[in-house]
Amino acid sequence: MSLADDLLKQFDHLIESLALVPSDGGRFEVSVNGKLIYSKLQTKRHAEPGEVVGLINKMVENN
Q: What is the pLDDT of residues 22-48, one digit of tens each?
A: 788 888 999 888 888 999 999 999 999
pTM for this prediction: 0.80
Q: How far apart are alpha carbons 37 and 29 in whole angstroms? A: 8
Q: Quick one: pLDDT band at residue 1, thresholds 50, 70, 90?
A: low
C-alpha distance from residue 46 to each of 17, 23, 50 (Å): 24, 15, 12
58 vs 18 pLDDT, higher one: 58
Average model confidence (pLDDT) across the chain: 88
What residue numbers bound the domain in which 9 lies? 3-62
Number of domains in the chain: 1
Residues 40/26, Cβ–Cβ less than 8 Å? yes
